[in-house]
Structure 1
Amino acid sequence: MSESAIDRLARTTPSGISRRVSGLSDRAIAWIFVTPTILLLLAVNIFPLIWTVRLSFTNFRVNRPGEAPEFVGLRNYSRILTDGDIWLTMQATAHFLFWTIALQVLIGFTLAYLINKKFRGNDLWTTIIVLPMMLSPAVVGNFWTFLYQPQIGLFNYVIGFFSGVDPSSFSMIGDVSLAPWAIVIVDTWMWTPFVMLICLAGLRSIPDSIYEAAECDRASKWRQFWTITIPLVLPFLMLAILFRGIENFKMFDLVVQLTGGGPGSVTELTSINLKREAFEKWRTGYASAYAVILFVTVFGLASIYVKALNKVKER
């Protein structure tokens, strides 16, 4: 009989270590394996968070390392919460979140519902639809920047045709009223496949026997959709909304790649504004307070949403 891997490991383990390990309880052994992960999380996540909270109560500037920071209490928080420009970026972020999530859920669920119906070329179309999600934001940003150029941009010609504007001198990302929608279109194109895959997993988790029982009761397709499909897929839809909401709240790279932070402040989301405060104006203490407010906002809303999601799953 061949020697197992466990037997070889036991045979090659030094006797001193073997005796010490054999005297440990299962709980102690578990802590030995878990402790490195806990220390790594403390170093990477918890310590920077505590340090950020500490800096938020000071006027520290990272570009002035020789200057001793002064404790300012809640002054940074008060200035942020009373700053009209901050609230404008919050509104821009809320607009971006609402429309991207609404479009991605609507289109993603529709695509998942259609793909779930078996037809010829199903796998091929699924692969094609998922392709945008596999690209990096830098590639997507460059690709769509070309599409929005005045000379060759397809969207510019379509909008210019209906609005009577010369498409050769018009660009969506340069127009104050259309720039936010240009970003919404790109993010929807890129991340709708993600929502589709989650919805598809939910649709394929529904047993066929439920639909067969509904057909025996002479329930119409429309009634089956609203009383079976939607309730059973709703937890997956809510999960997709949670993931996309958190990701879009901290959206940065794609917006900068497309617009460079312009035109004006209509596309300046909270993440971009935070970057300006921290790395352009070098107001580190102020930016730390801003980051803490954003963290508390996202964490609080996500906690409430997760409780609602759990209640839906328990039904």
Structure 2
Amino acid sequence: MTETPIDRLARATPSSLARRAKGLSDRTIAWIFVTPTILLLLAVNIFPLIWTIRLSFTNYRSNRPNAEVKWVGLENYQKILTDDGIWGNMQATAHFLFWTILLQVLIGFTLAWLINRKFKGNDLLTTLIVIPMMLSPAVVGNFWTFLYQPQIGLFNYIEFFTGTPSSSFEMLGSVTLAPWAIVIVDTWMWTPFVMLICLAGLRSIPDYIYEAAEVDRASKWRQFWTITIPMVLPFLMLAVLFRGIENFKMFDLVVQLTGGGPGSVTELASINLKREAFEKWRTGYSSAYAIILFVTVFGLASIYVKALNKVKER
């Protein structure tokens, strides 16, 4: 039976009738909705990046907007790459990155492995463990500053129990201990994040694999190294990627704890960048500094992602 125009009209929805009336295809409708979002992303992300790149080749200072702006070429980049102070900041950043990521991976995976073993109170314990990562870095910084306070803080009780003067444990005021103080706080705050990622990896392993290994009389230790670690490795690497990127630009927590001191032993690259941009007002110089940090993070992350993809393909 041939369909009449009246039948087609009866089957048509109001939206399809409106599109046909305007002569718009589904693809055109999709672009109408997507285009504003694309333009917004370009305005918020791409334009500032291009503007920063342009400023990095000038001597522009934002506190002198009416001063003559000179094109200095690669001079800012040359100064940054030959500045011993900045290399010291990068060394402090590398120390912070290495130890926080190492400790968070080790402790986070251990906690995930323990929690994955079902026991009474499992859910309550998991909730308690993840509380630190839910707190604001400003709150965490103030909380731990109080704990580190040598007169009234937690370390003040070391003298009572050990007889060692509490001033010997003045974490935030010690050139030797201050870098470890910020490592401890970041580890305490973000280990739960790594734990959750590892827990997802552990729970994604099918039970039948372990059952097959037990049939083959594989020991628990052998199951751990030949099944658990290889199958959780992509999740571990993903956690390292996330924490590496976040800790490379760490700012607020360290500022709350030490402000970059004592001296400059905890002055990470992000803190030094803020000083150059908003205290010394060397806008062109700090723009070049920001581009160098961006290229460093982007390059290292790209290499790491390639390695991660290779592990997933195995």
**Deviation of 1:33 (Å):** 2.0
**Amino acid of the residue matched to residue 53 of structure 1?**
I
Aligned partner of 2:3 in structure 1 is: none
Name which of structure 1's ranges 36-45 and 92-101 shifts more when overlaid on structure 2. 36-45
Change (3 A) 1:218 1:15: closer
1:249 aligns with 2:251: no
1:1-315 paired onto structure 2 within 5 Å: 11=14, 19-20=21-22, 23-155=23-155, 157-158=157-158, 166-167=165-166, 171-315=170-314
CA contact (8 A) 1:132 1:191 kept: yes
**Amino acid of the residue matched to residue 97 of structure 1?**
L
1:300 aligns to what SS in structure 2? helix
**Deviation of 1:87 (Å):** 0.2
CA contact (8 A) 2:159 2:165 kept: no
**Deviation of 1:161 (Å):** 7.1
TM (norm. structure 2) is 0.92
**Deviation of 1:152 (Å):** 2.3
- C-alpha distance in structure 2 between counterparts of 1:302 and 1:231, whole Å: 21
**Deviation of 1:25 (Å):** 2.9
**Deviation of 1:49 (Å):** 0.3
CA contact (8 A) 1:161 1:167 kept: no
Change (3 A) 1:218 1:238: same
| Residues 94-144 of structure 1: per-residue CA shift (max 9 Å, x gap) | 000000000000000000000000000000000000000100001101100
**Amino acid of the residue matched to residue 54 of structure 2?**
R
CA contact (8 A) 1:56 1:285 kept: yes
**Deviation of 1:19 (Å):** 1.5
| Residues 232-289 of structure 1: per-residue CA shift (max 9 Å, x gap) | 0000000000000000000000000011221001000000000000000000000000
CA contact (8 A) 1:151 1:169 kept: no
Change (3 A) 1:15 1:26: closer
- C-alpha distance in structure 2 between counterparts of 1:14 and 1:26, whole Å: 10
- C-alpha distance in structure 2 between counterparts of 1:152 and 1:187, whole Å: 22
**Deviation of 1:40 (Å):** 1.0
Change (3 A) 1:216 1:122: same
Name which of structure 1's ranges 147-156 and 42-51 shifts more when overlaid on structure 2. 147-156
**Deviation of 1:24 (Å):** 2.7
- C-alpha distance in structure 2 between counterparts of 1:226 and 1:110, whole Å: 14
**Amino acid of the residue matched to residue 241 of structure 1?**
V
- C-alpha distance in structure 2 between counterparts of 1:143 and 1:103, whole Å: 21
- C-alpha distance in structure 1 between counterparts of 2:299 and 2:281, whole Å: 28
- C-alpha distance in structure 2 between counterparts of 1:292 and 1:300, whole Å: 12
- C-alpha distance in structure 2 between counterparts of 1:160 and 1:89, whole Å: 37
- C-alpha distance in structure 1 between counterparts of 2:120 and 2:65, whole Å: 65
1:172 aligns to what SS in structure 2? coil
CA contact (8 A) 1:92 1:266 kept: yes
Change (3 A) 1:266 1:157: farther
- What percent of counterpart residues are identical? 83
Residue-pair matches, total: 304
CA contact (8 A) 2:245 2:297 kept: yes
**Amino acid of the residue matched to residue 256 of structure 2?**
Q
- C-alpha distance in structure 1 between counterparts of 2:167 and 2:175, whole Å: 17
- C-alpha distance in structure 2 between counterparts of 1:213 and 1:77, whole Å: 58
CA contact (8 A) 1:156 1:171 kept: no
- C-alpha distance in structure 2 between counterparts of 1:156 and 1:304, whole Å: 45
Unaligned stretches of 5+ residues in structure 1: 1-6
**Deviation of 1:168 (Å):** 5.2
**Amino acid of the residue matched to residue 134 of structure 2?**
M
- C-alpha distance in structure 2 between counterparts of 1:233 and 1:80, whole Å: 40
- C-alpha distance in structure 2 between counterparts of 1:161 and 1:264, whole Å: 31
